[in-house]
Amino acid sequence: MPAGAYTNSDFFDLEVEKVFRKEWLPVGHVAQIPNVGDYFTIDVLNELLVVVRGRDRIRVMSRVCLHRWAPVCEGSGNAKVFSCPFHRWSYGLDGQLIATPLMEAKGGFNPRSCSLPEIRSEVVCGTIFITFSDVARSAGELLADWTEAMEIYRPEELKIAYSVEFDLNFNWKIAVETFMESYHHIGAHATTAEPYYPAKLHWVDDTREGWTAGHGYLREDLPTSVAFGEFGGKLDPFPSLSEDQLRRSLVHLVYPIHCFFIGVNRLHWTALIPVAVNKTRWVRHVLVQPEALERQDFPEIVERLRQSGVKITEEDMAVNDMQQKGAASSFAKPGFLHPLEKPTWQLSDYVRRRLGS
Ligand code: FES
Ligand SMILES: [Fe+2]
């Protein structure tokens, strides 16, 4: 991709129109809202959304009040109704307008005919996906082969060990590419990931329609236990993994912005939400087996995982900040890619196909 694809606002607007408004985008994981009434808010492409577990199902709705546009809720929590702070119009968990103080006397207005607009959503492997498209093919259908690959981790049953969010000052493609390619382990992660999962032992699959995957391998001379011990926060591995699988780590990209690091004992659920050409919202939930939460030493495990996870992320952000600056130079041309950077090529190809040239 030319460097302008990372710096030009018109190009970003085109991506919004032809990619993000048409594809399936991750907004969260079911573990964020286990009980009826649980909700969280998230902003995607200037749409202010609320994701809520209703009595019957999960809904993703606009949280912009139908009266004078104030958001009816913020943050996360548990609600019986959403009551707008401005003039106290109230909405049920299904978005139905149920109370409009002092409006009863105003003829011709029927609150019962009003609801917060719902955005099309689907849950696949525990991820709550949305699309603004009426015609996009079902996410479950598109990602049937991904569901199969993820089955072994029981992703819909996992719980959140911790969550973390960052506002990045670089283009969404830079964030996705760096998540997926392992060539940079020798530079950015020379003392953190490289000593355990060296770049030279990685390889990348050919792309599927909806997703792609990269595979890493634990350094040959290290015992398997290092993967869930010293490198994995001392948390037990997923029970169903073979000896060979215990030596692997995986990265998945569900196009265009849903990334997973899959370790032997945890999943790094990640959404890289585009905000502007040089702004990306990075949302991560670290998912572990439900049994882990019952361990007495769970707080220490979480602390170890958080420290190592955030350190690696900060190493990525440091180089990505530099890269975004460099991309604005008139001397920035597409560089020669190493085979380990195949996901970078795959993402460029995906964007190119969506944009039509
Ligand atoms: S803006 Fe929500 S009640 Fe008026
Ligand atoms: Fe990295």
pLDDT digits (tens, 9 = 90+) for 15-40: 999 999 999 999 999 999 999 999 99
pLDDT-derived band at 159 (thresholds 50, 70, 90) equals very high
**What is residue 242's predicted lDDT score, i.e. its pLDDT?**
94
**What is residue 112's predicted lDDT score, i.e. its pLDDT?**
87
Asked whether this chain's domains 1-23+154-357 and 25-142 adopt the same fold, the reply is: no
* Distance from Cα 315 to the centre of ligand 2, integer Å: 7
Average of per-residue pLDDT values in the chain: 96
pLDDT over 70 percentage in the chain? 99
Span 292-313, mean pLDDT?
Answer: 95
Structure tokens at 344: 């970078």
**Domain positions in the chain:** 1-23+154-357, 25-142
pLDDT tens sequence across 340-352: 999 999 999 999 9
**What is residue 353's predicted lDDT score, i.e. its pLDDT?**
96
**What is residue 111's predicted lDDT score, i.e. its pLDDT?**
87
253: left (phi over 0), alpha (psi -120 to 50) or beta: beta
pLDDT-derived band at 267 (thresholds 50, 70, 90) equals very high
Is the pLDDT reported for residue 234 higher than 70?
yes
Ligand nearest to the CA of 89: 1
**What is residue 105's predicted lDDT score, i.e. its pLDDT?**
63
**What is residue 357's predicted lDDT score, i.e. its pLDDT?**
54
pTM score, whole prediction? 0.97
* Distance from Cα 109 to the centre of ligand 2, integer Å: 55
Residue closest via CA to ligand 1's atom 1 equals 68
Name the CATH superfamily, with its identifier, for domain 1-23+154-357.
Answer: Naphthalene 1,2-dioxygenase Alpha Subunit; Chain A, domain 1 (3.90.380.10)
Cα–Cα distance, 61 to 77 (Å, whole number): 16
**What is residue 227's predicted lDDT score, i.e. its pLDDT?**
94
Span 91-120, mean pLDDT?
Answer: 90
34: left (phi over 0), alpha (psi -120 to 50) or beta: alpha
Structural contact between residues 45 and 280, judged by C-beta atoms closer than 8 angstroms? no
Closest Cα to residue 343, out of 179, 201, 181, 208? 181
pLDDT tens sequence across 170-179: 999 999 999 9
Q: Is the CB of 84 under 6 A from ligand 1?
A: yes
Span 266-271, mean pLDDT?
Answer: 98
Residue closest via CA to ligand 1's atom 4 equals 87
Cα–Cα distance, 202 to 189 (Å, whole number): 14
**What is residue 110's predicted lDDT score, i.e. its pLDDT?**
85
**What is residue 233's predicted lDDT score, i.e. its pLDDT?**
93
Q: Is the CB of 66 under 6 A from ligand 1?
A: no
* Distance from Cα 100 to the centre of ligand 1, integer Å: 9
Helical ranges in the chain per DSSP H: 9-15, 139-142, 144-150, 172-180, 243-246, 298-327, 342-355
User: Buried (b) or exposed (e) across 22-43, using 16+ Cβ within 10 A?
Assistant: bbbbbbbbbbbbeeeebbbbbe
Q: Is the CB of 103 under 6 A from ligand 1?
A: no
Is the pLDDT reported for residue 44 higher than 90?
yes
The SS3 call for residue 60 is strand
Span 305-316, mean pLDDT?
Answer: 95
CATH class of 25-142: mainly beta
pLDDT tens sequence across 60-92: 999 999 999 999 999 999 999 999 999 999 999
**What is residue 23's predicted lDDT score, i.e. its pLDDT?**
98
pLDDT-derived band at 237 (thresholds 50, 70, 90) equals very high
